């Protein structure tokens, strides 16, 4: 048959269908079992695993930054604090047109036009729903301006946040330092985990040196978030027990500094460039430390603008430069008391020895003339006179007899050529020359030799010898203390912000210099003599003393005067004029303060620097400081 | 055996009034109860899954209502009419699919529906019913098991709309259409060896078809095989839904208390992934209960299919019953990580789409096929 004719068999088809249905039912049952097995695996066997995952999904840890410790002066005046600051914050996803919004904010002077690009980058680097500060520290007027325009700026609002504030602005900025945004460099040496949530970090001075104490311990808070990472407030059983770790506030720092003394020092320096360091010789407390000009640290905390920072960097007066710690200058005659003491200790000069000063010194067998710095000739001078009247010729001779090795060794005992170890960073060691130093410092063999003439100059603090104002203050404090030294310190203790418990640091002893009381007496007399009668500072710092001062002027050459020329202040451009030094301690019989003052291009020590030192000492002593 | 029970139930004169009402509506009571329970459970879950949005729940309820009306209407339509209308519906569906494909081609993008002004209409939804109807219609007159020639024709009936739908591109629906048609052929008594050959061909086709898949479709399959390979991209759905189900445990986190769903970690929580919301909030207990409800509906539907007497009715009813299970299994399998992610909603529970109406229409047809059967075998 060509085609097998098939007839529909209803009954058979029914059976076939039922058979297939049963198979289908079996497959359905099998698949259902498979599905249920899968569900049991997920919900029973691996339940804990998925519970952890779901927990991790919805709980985010949000850091709670610890309030930074306050900084107080020795009288309890707050010099660095945390104040609520109003800042302009922007949420990108709520802003219709970011570029346009920023331009319009600039148009009403809420952000600087130059900063629009930076602000845009900052906003774009955050998640779209993050509230990003585009302008920190709004003042009242700016807040009012924004309030008027608020409706024009959806997604922009004013928020309050704790910011570092320095109520006295530039006052003591080179001692206190400042805080600024954490940089890549900072990240290298901090524990990132401990700093999550912290936005500002100490950059210089006390703020940087005591960062650990000030920072405290950040806390954290677990928050509920949705899939977009947004914090959500929900009630119900799935809200887990969200833990909060309370932050521990940083410790308050108690400065050794006396704000009154500091203010006087800064005001006395005024617009002049220079530095003042005042130390309590009895324990190393830094009563004042200033470097002028300074800058307002608040600008860094609020986010310094490009223009502002460039202005600071380009300023010819270098306001960012800490002259007190990092400025190295020839000591000038301020070193003479140490040279005199060296002469006594090494027994190359007797207290009764007189020299005749004819205004010029010649090394034996040499025609080179070393001139008296200022006042022609002193005639016959004793060691005490030589200090009091700063006779260069006497010290030329003394230096020559001591020799460079002994001078260098002895000055080293006062800490020159080394950092003083003050409790903030950035200190420069200055330069203490020696034969060995010269051998290493110069490449040409003829330059590597130490010349006798260089020793002569060394004796009056000129030549290679370089010191910082801090070193000179430390040295003065050692003189005041008859050779006993303490490490200078800006911070004398810490206070627990919660309990108020104060922990004082013990003064840290340094290496001492031993000389006999008689030898010290000669130096003291010389320095006291400088303030009286024919002394170099008698007419300036020494006028109307109500307590005894021991001081020494100094003049550091910036510009070399030729062999046969005379230095004339009026003919030399201001920035090439001599630096003016003055060191002093008082009361002379029981010193409570030792001061070093530097005025750049200030001319003679007695006129430029000495009056400032006097004001600083008055500020401290007349109110009974250190008594 | 089974016949006896039906005879007794139908010949009994002590029918309750509600049963009488159902009978006159041509509606199957148990099936209606099963479907209603699922729908109610679905609405309760949807309230939570939509983030307590009553509007969504009401919209879904409205769709269910429309579906129920369609179901009741179709239940009253005589199977003979359905059978005769099958070719017309099928051809109309094909034409609409072509229109959609052309519109989509012009619009340069995925096009799945026609905008009829008042509502959007998805022609592929019609095909979910039209294809099994057409297959059953074709095989109705022919002796079963089908001859190779008949099979080829039936295969063509299935392939054309499935391919057109897949080209939209909507692989999921295309696949479901094909399954509905293939189920008719299987129930018609497709020979085992043919099944084996077809399985081989399918495997081969899948291998070839891989290259024709769109990038995102390929990605779905790949991420199904290894979700962790793309945890924030295509694997995100699978990972998050498994976390939701797994963290639900045996008893769940409680209604409206599933963190995965409520905090939007679970994507498409009110639509394709609502199964995971149930798993998270009602736990294993809730899922098993739901699966049992589905099984009851499928079982009842197969039972009803077996009671019908005509080839057309049997094949169509059987296919509709089993397709329903396939929907459930594909969705549940996808959400629980057994199957790759394909856009198949959970029947009667997932929000949106015309699929809810289509499904209930299918059950209406099934009820019609059952309730219009002749009581005494010819």
| Residue A240: predicted pLDDT | 57
Residue A57: pLDDT above 70?
yes
Higher-pLDDT residue of A4 and A551 is A551
Q: Are residues B304 and B320 in the same domain?
A: yes
- Residue B265 to residue A226, Cβ atoms within 8 A: yes
B43-63 pLDDT, tens digit per residue, is 999 999 998 899 999 999 999
Q: What is the mean pLDDT of residues A72-76?
A: 93
Residue A340: pLDDT above 50?
yes
Higher-pLDDT residue of A574 and B318 is B318
Q: What is the mean pLDDT of residues B234-250?
A: 87
Please tell me the total count of domains within chain B: 2
Residue B15: pLDDT above 80?
no
**Searching chain B, which residue's CA lies closest to the CA of residue A55?**
B259
Q: Is residue B252 assigned to a domain?
A: yes
Which tokens hold the place of A151? 């409706």
Nearest CA distance, A4 vs chain B (angstrom): 11
- Residue A35 to residue B257, Cβ atoms within 8 A: no
Last residue of a domain, one of A229, A250, A271: A250
What residues of B are in contact with residue A18 (Cβ under 8 Å)? 306
Q: Are residues A435 and A525 in the same domain?
A: yes
Which tokens hold the place of A439? 């051998």
Q: Are residues B127 and B226 in the same domain?
A: no
What residues of A are in contact with residue B329 (Cβ under 8 Å)? 31-32, 35
Q: Give the nearest partner residue to B249 out of A7, A43, A224, using CB atoms.
A: A43
Q: In a mutagenesis test of the B interface, which of A2, A4, A12, A32 is the best target, namely the one with the most B β-carbons within 10 Å?
A: A32
| Residue A575: predicted pLDDT | 73
Q: Are residues A406 and A361 in the same domain?
A: yes
Q: How far apart are CA B92 and CA A471, in angstroms?
A: 101
- Mean pLDDT, chain A, rounded, equals 86
Which tokens hold the place of A187? 């990240």
| Residue A561: predicted pLDDT | 53
Q: How far apart are CA B322 and CA B132, in angstroms?
A: 11
Q: What is the mean pLDDT of residues A440-446?
A: 89
| Residue B229: predicted pLDDT | 63
Last residue of a domain, one of A197, A229, A250: A250
Please tell me the total count of domains within chain A: 2
Q: Are residues A557 and A581 in the same domain?
A: yes
Nearest CA distance, B147 vs chain A (angstrom): 10
- Residue B260 to residue A6, Cβ atoms within 8 A: no
Q: How far apart are CA A613 and CA A287, in angstroms?
A: 13
Q: Are residues B366 and B353 in the same domain?
A: yes
Q: Are residues A96 and A219 in the same domain?
A: yes
Residue with tokens 């905090």: B263
| Residue A239: predicted pLDDT | 56
| Residue A312: predicted pLDDT | 86
Last residue of a domain, one of B189, B213, B237: B213
| Residue B275: predicted pLDDT | 95
**Searching chain A, which residue's CA lies closest to the CA of residue B189?**
A16
Q: How far apart are CA A289 and CA A263, in angstroms?
A: 10
Q: Is residue B17 assigned to a domain?
A: no
Q: How far apart are CA B100 and CA B78, in angstroms?
A: 31
What residues of B are in contact with residue A54 (Cβ under 8 Å)? 243-244, 246-247, 259-260, 265
- Mean pLDDT, chain B, rounded, equals 85
Q: Are residues B209 and B288 in the same domain?
A: no
| Residue A430: predicted pLDDT | 92
- Residue A53 to residue B243, Cβ atoms within 8 A: yes
Q: Give the nearest partner residue to A54 out of B260, B284, B295, using CB atoms.
A: B260
Q: Are residues A320 and A393 in the same domain?
A: yes
- Residue B253 to residue A25, Cβ atoms within 8 A: no
Which of A333, A408, A434, A477 is an active site residue?
Answer: A333
| Residue A623: predicted pLDDT | 86
Q: Are residues A185 and A270 in the same domain?
A: no
Nearest CA distance, A26 vs chain B (angstrom): 11
Last residue of a domain, one of A183, A216, A250: A250
Q: Are residues B146 and B247 in the same domain?
A: no
| Residue A567: predicted pLDDT | 58
**Beta carbons within 10 angstroms of residue B271's beta carbon:** 18
Do A265 and A288 contact (CB within 8 A), yes or no? yes
Residue B256: pLDDT above 80?
yes
Quote the distance between the C-alpha of residue B161 and its chain's center.
16
Residue with tokens 């015309």: B354
Q: Are residues B230 and B359 in the same domain?
A: yes
Nearest CA distance, A24 vs chain B (angstrom): 8
Q: How far apart are CA A541 and CA A593, in angstroms?
A: 15
What is the domain-level CATH number for residue A351?
3.40.710.10
Q: Is residue A232 assigned to a domain?
A: yes
Q: What is the mean pLDDT of residues A183-190?
A: 76
Lowest mean pLDDT of A244-248, B22-26, B368-372, name the range.
B22-26
Owning domain of residue A507: 260-621
Q: How far apart are CA A499 and CA A516, in angstroms?
A: 48
Q: What is the mean pLDDT of residues B108-125?
A: 66
Nearest CA distance, B297 vs chain A (angstrom): 12
**Beta carbons within 10 angstroms of residue B298's beta carbon:** 23
Q: Which element (helix H / strand E) includes A82? A: strand A78-91
Residue with tokens 């099958």: B86
| Residue A1: predicted pLDDT | 39
**Searching chain A, which residue's CA lies closest to the CA of residue B334?**
A35
A170-180 pLDDT, tens digit per residue, is 999 999 999 88
Q: Are residues B208 and B162 in the same domain?
A: yes
- Residue B243 to residue A236, Cβ atoms within 8 A: no
| Residue B14: predicted pLDDT | 61
Q: A44: which DSSP letter? A: I
Q: Give the nearest partner residue to A35 out of B265, B302, B333, using CB atoms.
A: B333
Residue A182: pLDDT above 80?
no
Residue B275: exposure state from Cβ atoms within 10 A (0-12, 13-18, ≥19): buried
Q: Give the nearest partner residue to A38 out of B253, B260, B338, using CB atoms.
A: B338
| Residue A564: predicted pLDDT | 52
| Residue B170: predicted pLDDT | 78
Closest among B263, B276, B271, B223 to A50, alpha carbons compared: B276
Q: Are residues B62 and B86 in the same domain?
A: no
- Residue B284 to residue A28, Cβ atoms within 8 A: no
| Residue B378: predicted pLDDT | 44
Q: Are strands A219-224 and A78-91 parallel, antiparallel or unpaired?
A: unpaired
Which tokens hold the place of B268? 């498409």
A220-238 pLDDT, tens digit per residue, is 887 777 776 667 766 554 5
| Residue B376: predicted pLDDT | 54
Owning domain of residue B269: 28-76+216-378
Render the burial of B7-38: b for 16+ CB within 10 Å, e for the rest.
eeeeeeeeeeeeeeebeeebbbeebbebbebb
**Searching chain A, which residue's CA lies closest to the CA of residue B306?**
A18
**Searching chain B, which residue's CA lies closest to the CA of residue A237?**
B257
Size of interface A-B (CB pairs under 8 A): 155
The share of chain B scoring above pLDDT 70, in percent, equals 87
Backbone angles phi, psi at A534, to 5 degrees: -95, 10
**DSSP result, B260-305:** HHHTT-STTTTTTTHHHHHHHHHHHHHHHHHHHHHHHHHHHHHHHH
Q: In a mutagenesis test of the B interface, which of A6, A39, A40 is the best target, namely the one with the most B β-carbons within 10 Å?
A: A39
A128 annotated active-site: no
Q: What is the mean pLDDT of residues B310-326?
A: 93
Q: How far apart are CA A300 and CA B130, in angstroms?
A: 75
- Residue A53 to residue B246, Cβ atoms within 8 A: yes
| Residue B4: predicted pLDDT | 43
Residue B12: pLDDT above 60?
no
Backbone angles phi, psi at A401, to 5 degrees: -75, -30
Q: Are residues A150 and A288 in the same domain?
A: no
Residue B241 three-state SS? helix
B201-227 pLDDT, tens digit per residue, is 888 887 887 777 777 777 777 766 666
Q: Is residue A34 assigned to a domain?
A: no
| Residue B8: predicted pLDDT | 47
The share of chain A scoring above pLDDT 70, in percent, equals 93
Residue B181: pLDDT above 60?
yes
Q: Give the nearest partner residue to A46 out of B246, B265, B333, using CB atoms.
A: B246
Residues 6+ apart with CB under 8 A from B131: B90, B157, B158, B161, B162, B177, B178, B180, B181
What CA–CA distances, in Å, run from B298 to A72, A349, A570, B175, B321?
81, 120, 112, 20, 5
- Residue B242 to residue A39, Cβ atoms within 8 A: no
Q: What is the mean pLDDT of residues B252-266?
A: 85
Query: For the packed helices B123-140 and B148-166, what is the interaxial angle rounded to 10 degrees?
Result: 180
| Residue B142: predicted pLDDT | 85
- Residue A10 to residue B309, Cβ atoms within 8 A: yes
Residues 6+ apart with CB under 8 A from A105: A88, A111, A134, A135, A153, A156
Four-CA torsion A530, A535, A538, A540, nearest 10 degrees: -90
Q: Is residue A94 assigned to a domain?
A: yes
What residues of A are in contact with residue B263 (Cβ under 8 Å)? 57-58, 224-227, 232, 234
Q: Are residues A241 and A275 in the same domain?
A: no
Higher-pLDDT residue of A102 and A228 is A102
Which tokens hold the place of B86? 């099958």
Q: How far apart are CA A488 and CA A424, in angstroms?
A: 10
Q: What is the mean pLDDT of residues B230-246?
A: 80
Residue A548: pLDDT above 70?
yes
| Residue A546: predicted pLDDT | 86
**Searching chain B, which residue's CA lies closest to the CA of residue A26?**
B299
The share of chain A scoring above pLDDT 90, in percent, equals 46
Which tokens hold the place of A249? 């506030």
Last residue of a domain, one of B213, B241, B262: B213
Q: Are residues A278 and A246 in the same domain?
A: no
Q: Give the nearest partner residue to A47 out of B144, B246, B287, using CB atoms.
A: B246
Render the burial of A18-37: b for 16+ CB within 10 Å, e for the rest.
bebbeebbeebeebbeebbe
Do A404 and A390 contact (CB within 8 A), yes or no? no
Q: Is residue B43 assigned to a domain?
A: yes
Residues 6+ apart with CB under 8 A from B206: none
Lowest mean pLDDT of A37-51, A75-89, A483-497, A569-583, name the range.
A569-583
Residue A100: pLDDT above 70?
yes
| Residue A370: predicted pLDDT | 84
Nearest CA distance, B145 vs chain A (angstrom): 8
Q: Are residues B94 and B134 in the same domain?
A: yes
Q: How far apart are CA A520 and CA A509, in angstroms?
A: 20
Q: Are strands A360-362 and A369-371 parallel, antiparallel or unpaired?
A: antiparallel
Q: Which element (helix H / strand E) includes A278? A: strand A274-279
Q: Is residue A255 assigned to a domain?
A: no
Q: How confident is the model at residue B234 (pLDDT cuts 50, 70, 90)?
A: low
Q: What is the mean pLDDT of residues A54-75?
A: 85
What residues of A are in contact with residue B224 (Cβ under 8 Å)? none
* pTM for the full predicted model: 0.67
Range with the largest mean pLDDT of A308-317, A420-429, A533-542: A420-429
Higher-pLDDT residue of B206 and A621 is A621
Q: Are residues A586 and A443 in the same domain?
A: yes
Do B302 and A24 contact (CB within 8 A), yes or no? yes
Residue A268: pLDDT above 80?
yes
Residue B108: pLDDT above 60?
no
Q: Are residues A200 and A287 in the same domain?
A: no
Q: Are residues A387 and A471 in the same domain?
A: yes
Q: Is residue A369 assigned to a domain?
A: yes
Q: Is residue A9 assigned to a domain?
A: no
Q: In a mutagenesis test of the A interface, which of B136, B150, B192, B247 is the best target, namely the one with the most A β-carbons within 10 Å?
A: B247
ipTM for the complex?
Answer: 0.89
């Amino acid at each position: 048959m060509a085609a097998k004719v098939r007839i529909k068999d209803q009954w058979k088809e029914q059976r076939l269908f039922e058979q297939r249905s049963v198979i289908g039912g079996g497959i359905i049952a099998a698949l259902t079992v498979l599905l249920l097995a899968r569900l049991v695996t997920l919900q029973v066997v691996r339940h804990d695993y998925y519970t952890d995952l779901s927990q991790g999904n919805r709980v985010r840890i949000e850091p709670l930054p610890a309030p930074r410790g306050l900084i107080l002066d020795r009288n309890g005046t707050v010099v660095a604090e945390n104040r609520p600051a109003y800042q302009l914050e922007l949420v990108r996803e709520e802003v219709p047109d970011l570029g346009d919004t920023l331009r319009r904010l600039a148009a009403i002077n809420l952000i600087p036009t130059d900063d629009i690009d930076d602000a845009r980058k900052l906003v774009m680097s955050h998640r779209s729903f993050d509230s990003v500060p585009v302008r920190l520290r709004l003042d009242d007027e700016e807040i009012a301006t924004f309030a008027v325009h608020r409706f024009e700026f959806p997604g922009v609002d004013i928020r309050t946040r704790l910011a570092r504030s320095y109520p006295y602005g530039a006052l003591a900025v080179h001692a206190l330092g400042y805080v600024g945004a954490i940089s890549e460099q900072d990240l290298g040496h901090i524990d990132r985990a401990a700093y999550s949530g912290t936005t500002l970090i100490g950059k210089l001075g006390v703020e940087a040196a005591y960062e650990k104490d000030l920072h405290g311990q950040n806390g954290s808070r677990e928050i509920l978030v949705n899939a977009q990472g947004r914090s959500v407030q929900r009630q119900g059983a799935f809200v887990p027990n969200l833990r909060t770790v309370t932050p521990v506030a940083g410790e308050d720092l108690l400065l050794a500094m006396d704000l009154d003394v500091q203010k006087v020092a800064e005001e006395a320096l005024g617009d002049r460039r220079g530095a003042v360091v005042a130390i309590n010789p009895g324990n190393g407390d830094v009563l004042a430390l200033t470097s002028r000009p300074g800058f307002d640290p608040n600008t860094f905390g609020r986010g310094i603008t490009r223009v502002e920072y460039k202005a600071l960097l380009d300023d010819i007066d270098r306001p960012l430069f800490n002259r007190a710690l990092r400025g190295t200058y020839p000591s000038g005659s301020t070193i003479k008391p140490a040279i005199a003491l060296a002469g006594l200790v090494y027994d190359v000069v007797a207290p009764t020895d007189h020299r005749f000063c004819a205004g010029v010194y010649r090394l034996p067998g040499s025609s080179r003339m070393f001139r008296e710095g200022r006042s022609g000739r002193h005639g016959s001078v004793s060691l005490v006179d030589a200090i009091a009247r700063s006779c260069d010729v006497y010290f030329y001779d003394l230096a020559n007899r001591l020799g460079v090795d002994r001078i260098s060794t002895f000055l080293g005992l006062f800490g020159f050529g080394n950092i003083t170890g003050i409790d903030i960073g950035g200190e420069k060691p200055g330069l203490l020359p020696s034969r060995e130093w010269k051998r290493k410092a110069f490449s040409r063999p003829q330059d590597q030799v130490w010349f006798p003439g260089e020793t002569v100059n060394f004796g009056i603090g000129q030549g290679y010898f370089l010191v910082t104002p801090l070193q000179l203050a430390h040295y003065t404090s050692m003189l005041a203390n008859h050779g006993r030294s303490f490490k200078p310190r800006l911070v004398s203790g810490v206070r627990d912000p919660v309990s108020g418990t104060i922990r004082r640091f013990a003064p840290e002893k340094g290496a001492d210099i031993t000389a006999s009381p008689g030898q010290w007496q000669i130096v003291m007399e010389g320095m006291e003599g400088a303030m009286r009668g024919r002394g170099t500072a008698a007419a300036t710092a020494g006028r109307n003393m109500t307590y005894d001062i021991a001081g020494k002027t100094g003049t550091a050459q910036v510009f070399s005067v030729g062999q046969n020329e005379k230095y004339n202040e009026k003919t030399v451009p201001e920035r090439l004029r001599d630096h003016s030094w003055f060191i002093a301690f008082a009361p002379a019989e029981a010193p409570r303060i030792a001061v070093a003052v530097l005025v750049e291009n200030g001319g003679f020590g007695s006129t430029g620097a000495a009056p400032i030192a006097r004001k600083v000492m008055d500020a401290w002593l007349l109110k009974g400081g250190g008594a | 055996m089974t016949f006896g029970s039906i005879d007794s139930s139908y010949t009994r004169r002590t029918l309750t009034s509600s049963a009488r009402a159902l009978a006159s509506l041509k509606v199957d009571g148990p099936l209606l109860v099963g479907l209603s329970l699922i729908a109610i459970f679905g609405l309760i879950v949807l309230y939570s899954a939509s983030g307590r949005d009553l509007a969504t729940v009401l919209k879904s309820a409205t769709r269910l209502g429309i579906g129920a009306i369609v179901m009741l209407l179709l239940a009253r339509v005589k199977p003979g009419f359905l059978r005769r209308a099958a070719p017309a519906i099928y051809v109309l569906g094909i034409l609409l699919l072509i229109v959609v494909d052309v519109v989509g081609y012009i619009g340069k993008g995925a096009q799945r529906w026609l905008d009829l002004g008042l509502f959007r209409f998805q022609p592929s939804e019609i095909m979910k019913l039209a294809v099994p109807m057409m297959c059953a219609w074709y095989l109705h007159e022919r002796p079963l098991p089908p001859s190779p020639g008949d099979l080829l024709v039936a295969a063509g009936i299935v392939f054309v709309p499935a391919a057109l739908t897949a080209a939209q591109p909507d692989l999921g629906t295309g696949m479901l259409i094909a399954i509905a048609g293939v189920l008719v052929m299987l129930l018609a008594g497709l020979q085992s060896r043919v099944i084996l050959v077809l399985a081989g061909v399918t495997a081969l086709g899948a291998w070839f078809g891989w290259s024709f898949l769109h990038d995102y479709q390929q990605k779905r399959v790949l991420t199904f095989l290894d979700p962790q390979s793309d945890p924030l991209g295509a694997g995100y759905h699978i990972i998050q839904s498994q976390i939701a189900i797994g963290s639900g445990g045996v008893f769940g986190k409680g209604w409206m208390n599933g963190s995965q769903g409520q905090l939007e970690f679970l994507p498409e929580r009110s639509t394709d992934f609502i199964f995971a919301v149930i798993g998270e909030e009602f736990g294993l207990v809730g899922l098993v209960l739901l699966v049992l409800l589905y099984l009851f509906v499928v079982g009842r539907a197969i039972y009803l299919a077996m009671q019908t007497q005509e080839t057309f009715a049997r094949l169509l009813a059987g296919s509709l019953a089993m397709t329903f299970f396939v929907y459930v299994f594909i969705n549940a399998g996808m959400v629980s990580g057994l199957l790759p992610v394909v856009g198949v909603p959970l029947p009667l529970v997932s929000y949106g789409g015309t699929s809810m109406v289509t499904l209930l229409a299918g059950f209406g047809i099934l009820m019609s096929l059952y309730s219009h059967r002749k009581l005494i075998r010819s």
